[in-house]
Structures are given as C-alpha cells and as structure tokens.
Amino acid sequence: MLSQPSRPARFLHRRGSLSFVPGMPLLMGILNVTPDSFSDGGRFDTLETALAQARRLWEEGADILDVGGESTRPGFHGVSAQEEWERVGPVIRALREISPVPISVDTSKGAVARAALEAGADIVNDVTACRDPEMLSVLAEYRPGVVLMDDLPLASGFFAVDVVRERLRERRRVVMEATGLGEAAFLLDPGVGFGKDLAQNLQCIRHASEFALGKSGVLLGVSRKSYIGRVTGESSPGRRLPGTLASALVAGEVQVLRVHDVGEHRQALWVAKAIQES
C-alpha cells in the first residue's frame, strides 16, 4: 500500500467546475502507461511500475496526475478503446483508492472517458478537443473538468496566437452548448507540438496567458517536446529538461503545466517566484 504524503491540495475539482489557488502554476504529472510514448514509453506499463511512478510524482509535488494509455507522438498507432482502457483502468482504480491528488485521464475516446470517470477520475484531458460525439454525452452526464487542446494544422508562416485562441474559443462554445458545462469547467491548451511549425510553437509559449478565456484557465504542455530539439539540436527527449524548464519560466501566465519532471519544475518555479517577489 502506498502512503499518502501530507501536503495541502492547491487544486479543487467540484462537479462541473475547476478552481485554482493563485500564485504559481499547478503541476500536472504525466503518467504514461503506454509501450510507445515518445519519452517514457514502456517504463510504466505495469501496475506496479505505474503506481511507483505516481507516488514519486505526488511526493515531488504533483497537484494532478494525468494517466494516458495511447501515445500521441508523431507517427503513433492508435489503439482500440478496449485496449486503451485495459492499460489505464487498473491504474485509475488503484490510484482512486490511494491518491491524495485529483486524477486526469488523457483520452480522446468517449468510451474510455466514461469508464475512467466511473472509476473515479476527475478530469478528461482530450487532445482532440472532444471531437468524438460520444465524449460530449459523457461530459454532460458526469460533468468533470475538461482540457480542450488545439491539434489542428496551421499553415506555416501565420502568427499562431490569434488563430489558435479563436479555434479554442469556438470549440469551447460547441462543447459548452452540447454538455451544459460552464466556462469554469475548462482548461484550454494551445497544443504546442501539434500542427504548428517551430516559430508558431514558440509564439504559443511566449503568449500562453492569452489563451485564457473568461473563466477558463490555460494548460501548457511543453515537457521534453521536439521543438526543444529543433532549437538546441538535442535529439534525446530525456535530455531536454533544461529547455523544458526554460520554456516554463518564460511562458506567459498559465494555471497548469503538464510535465514529466515534477520536482525540477517545482524548484525552478519557487525560486523564480522568490526572485520576482524580492
């Protein structure tokens, strides 16, 4: 049995609403239970290794655990809803029994989201912004927190921020109308690394705060991504932590950072905050 670290929660989820304690981004720890994720595929694809990694993430300061069972790396091969649930289901069930922090399921399939929410997940993190029609009915029934990400291609050379912000606004409108959820239920993710060239990815990071719309906050996922390699020449995702931390520190204000390396981000953010307030 995993012990629960004593640490006050900085994030609260209520049915149909997300709320945050201001002052510093929350850290969403990435828990990939896949054999083929771009950075850590195969490392946590058993229940034992997944729970050990979950404990490490929350002991390092994770405010949310994001469990994913299908890779979204370039060139990934999709899996069926049944296979995806067989990967994430045992982990979510076990975490719900012991986890001191909210649980997010990283899925674009309504059937997987339904099973995960039934098992006790709090948030649905959908990289396709809920294009599966079944997802909409699931969200209407369970009223979880929702992450909508922009994954649509963008023509090279266009300034990304205005286009992506309006696409997220429109997609949120569609999902709100279909589900009855309010603005406070959503986090909006500009989708760094999805359908954008290098300049557009960098623009989305620099202007990240501009994706906050009304009561909807911003989630930024930049951890170990390939744009860092294009800037630095570093081909190994596992060696991109310095570039990831730099991105997190210079990004516009966001409510949530989705990261692999929770402890390192927590330390960097606290030091930056202390310097800014000195």
CB 171 within 8 A of CB 129: yes
- What is the mean predicted confidence (pLDDT) over 244-260? 96
**The dihedral of CA 117, 68, 132, 227: what is its sign?**
positive
CB 25 within 8 A of CB 269: yes
What is the percent of the chain where pLDDT is above 70? 88
Q: Cα separation of 219 and 221, whole Å?
A: 7
Query: Which residue would you say has higher pLDDT here, 11 or 99?
Result: 99
Q: Cα separation of 156 and 267, whole Å?
A: 36
pLDDT surpassing 50 at residue 8 = no
pLDDT on residue 63: 96
The predicted-structure confidence for 83-133, as pLDDT tens digits, reads as follows 999 999 999 999 999 988 999 999 999 999 999 999 999 999 999 999 999
Q: Which of the four pLDDT bands, split at 50, 70 and 90, describes residue 17?
A: confident
The predicted-structure confidence for 186-244, as pLDDT tens digits, reads as follows 999 999 999 999 999 999 999 999 999 999 999 999 999 999 999 999 999 999 999 99
Q: Cα separation of 101 and 8, whole Å?
A: 10
pLDDT on residue 10: 56
Work out the mean pLDDT of the chain and round it to a whole number: 90
- Reference 37, options 113, 104, 88; nearest CA is 88
pLDDT on residue 4: 39
Question: How does strand 26-32 pair with strand 103-106?
Answer: unpaired
Which residues have a catalytic role annotated? 225, 258
Single pTM value for the model: 0.91
Q: Which of the four pLDDT bands, split at 50, 70 and 90, describes residue 43?
A: low
